[in-house]
Amino acid sequence: MSVFNLTGKSAVVTGAGKGIGKAISTKLALQGARVAMIDLDESALAEAFQEIKEKGGNVTSHICNITNQQLVAKSFEAITKLQGFDILINNAGIAHIGNIEQTREEDFDKVYQVNVKGTYNCLQAGVIEMKKTGGGNIINIASIAAVVGLADRFAYTASKGAVLSMTYSVAKDYLAHNIRCNSISPGRVHTPFVDGFLAKNYPGKEKEMFDKLSKTQPLGRMGQPEEIANLALFLCSDEAAFITGSNYVIDGGLVTLNT
């Protein structure tokens, strides 16, 4: 028997159109899971969906604004009727750059709505459905910002700290319902967001700044979305059945070797 086999399992992945969410959706689908991909970006979602389908993955796509509780509940109910699910990956999130003085109220509210309320909405809908079916497995994508201070990331850090705390709370509250809940805290990962950030803030110096940011991690490079997906696959699998209430830092050594 192959390890990390997800045949017979169904998953919901938010923020599935790009970056880490797309990589996780791909990994889970190619390991046998049926994957419901959720994103607000219709074009990105359609492209990711088609790419995974062409690789042989069993996926469906669903447009949803996770900040709207009613829309999330409807989407999760529809997914449950279509395929059910026993895995939930809360990956959708946005970033903001700035210290507390540079963070406007509308900036803070926007990050909170997506990263905190959006995760809360999906957790609530997910737990309700999982209780009906006898259990499940939840993974929240947090960040190293939740465990160490990052310069000029005030709102983002606050939001990911909340995601980490919600992970512990759900894990504690639903032990008796056979629901596991863990989080993954990536360091810097090379996603389309990074490329967009560099193009916007350092035009003409993208490569120089990319190399500089890469070297801030002890391994000397950024992580790849597929590497985060590999960890998610393990936590989704039966091989991780004894793990709940844990946070997994995957950061090229940044947290422990730079402190």
CB crowding 156-169: b at 16 or more within 10 Å, else e: bbbbbbbbbebbbe
| Catalytic residue, candidates 156, 174, 202, 248 | 156
User: What is the per-residue pLDDT for 43?
Assistant: 97
Going from N- to C-terminal start, the domains of the chain cover: 10-187+224-250, 192-222
How far apart CA 104 and CA 23 sit, in angstroms, is 32
User: What is the per-residue pLDDT for 137?
Assistant: 98
Q: Which residue, 147, 143, 148, is CA-closest to 183?
A: 143
Phi, psi of 249 (to 5 degrees): -85, 130
Q: Which residue, 158, 37, 41, 155, is CA-closest to 88?
A: 37
Q: Is 156 a catalytic residue?
A: yes
Structure tokens at 203: 């035009």
DSSP per-residue codes, 146-162: GTS--TTBHHHHHHHHH
Asked if residues 8 and 31 have their Cβ atoms less than 8 Å apart, the reply is no
The CATH architecture assigned to 10-187+224-250 reads 3-Layer(aba) Sandwich (3.40)
User: What is the per-residue pLDDT for 238?
Assistant: 95
Asked if residues 85 and 136 have their Cβ atoms less than 8 Å apart, the reply is yes
Structure tokens at 247: 């946070």
User: What is the per-residue pLDDT for 259?
Assistant: 59
The beta strands (E) that lie in the chain are given as 10-14, 34-39, 58-63, 87-90, 136-141, 179-186, 247-250
Model confidence, pTM = 0.95
Sign of CA dihedral 55, 59, 64, 66: negative
User: What is the per-residue pLDDT for 20?
Assistant: 98
User: What is the per-residue pLDDT for 258?
Assistant: 76
Report the half-sphere exposure of 174 (CA within 13 A, side-chain side).
Answer: 28
Q: Along the 259 residues of the chain, how does pLDDT read in single tens digits?
A: 588 999 999 999 999 999 999 999 999 999 999 999 999 999 999 999 999 999 999 999 999 999 999 999 999 999 999 888 999 999 999 999 999 999 999 999 999 999 999 999 999 999 999 999 999 999 999 999 999 988 999 999 999 999 999 999 999 999 999 999 999 999 999 998 899 889 988 999 999 999 999 998 999 999 999 999 999 999 999 999 999 999 999 999 999 997 5
User: What is the per-residue pLDDT for 67?
Assistant: 98
